[in-house]
Amino acid sequence: MKTAIIVLALLTVSVQGKWPHLRTTWAPVPGLGGFNPEPRTQVELNAEGWVKLSSCSDGDPNFPGDRYARSRADNDIVLVFDGNGFIAGIQTIVPMDKAMNDEYHQYSTDKFYQIGDFFGAKAYFATTYFVDPSIICNGGRTQSEFEDQGTGNLVAMQTGPTIADLHYPPLVEEDAMTSDMWYEHKCFFNMGVHYFTFDYNPDQPCTEVVPYQLVYIDGKLNGIVFQHIAKLDSPRFESVNALAINGIVDTPPTCLLDLTETPGVSTMHVYVGDYIIVC
């Protein structure tokens, strides 16, 4: 039997209920770093001084919504808002000069990454939506829907150049258990029960690995983790070493352990629910 979990993603309201939070970055001790609350409304964005990257009115063919970065210098996350000013998704960024393309991993051919512009600099974006992307610039959510759902009511990972290309991960752990894509791994405190596309084969090529983890608690998806083959400098990313990988991955592929040394592996937990988890 499983217990605990947490990180970022989403669950339909009918399955899980309201998602009350949007927090990023795991830390060893809550209250002493990490678990950073991120804005979920336009009012919060304005109060914190976030900078608009693009908007619905731009008609961006790749990424819909009003998209905001913490600042022009903070090239780590972009928050996606609908036209009514409610949270709709999150992106993490791998700057082009940090994205290694070699026999271990190919950013240029990985369908979970899209090339985009970050204030004039090209970068790879990994994007997860918390609502149906088709509504983001076509009505958005109402105040009552936001109050009822919280951060969102689903998880959709972009797998191509437009929102016609999406992967919907299992919203309940029971479905993840029978998935031919996601595999159960280990539980870790203040994280939860992890699912990866690692298939327990030490010779599995890292080119086959999806840059996400799923995390479940009490059988329900409560978050996701972005994982990038890159050494990313932002303190909002978590630098991963072999000890950490062995703590959460059952029989990790050898290439992943090698990549923690060169060029590095960076992750970011994104939580939509409670983050105090005991395994």
- Whether 7 shows a pLDDT value over 70: the answer reads no
The residues near 206 (Cβ < 8 Å, ≥ 6 apart) are 104, 105, 229, 253, 255, 256, 259
Instruction: Tell me the whole-structure pTM to 2 decimals.
Output: 0.91
- Predicted pLDDT at 4: 33
- Predicted pLDDT at 2: 33
Question: What six digits make up the tokens of 236?
Answer: 């909002």
CA distance 74 to 164: 29
pLDDT tens column, 29-53 = 877 888 999 999 999 999 999 999 9
Give me the mean pLDDT over the 143-159 stretch.
96
User: To the nearest whole number, what is the mean pLDDT of the chain?
Assistant: 90
- Predicted pLDDT at 104: 65
DSSP line for 29-92 = STTSS--EE---BHHHHHHHT-EEEE-GGGT-SS--SEEEES-SS--SEEEEE-TTSBEEEEEE
Q: Choose the weakest-confidence range: 89-98, 168-177, 205-214, 270-279.
A: 270-279
Amino acid at 168: Y
| Max Cα distance, the chain (Å) | 50
Per the CB < 8 A criterion, the answer to whether 223 and 8 are in contact is yes
- Whether 155 shows a pLDDT value over 80: the answer reads yes
Per-residue confidence band for 17, with pLDDT thresholds at 50, 70 and 90:
low
Per-residue confidence band for 82, with pLDDT thresholds at 50, 70 and 90:
very high
CA distance 34 to 231: 18
- Predicted pLDDT at 235: 93
pLDDT tens column, 178-234 = 999 999 999 998 889 999 999 999 999 998 899 999 999 989 898 999 999 999 999
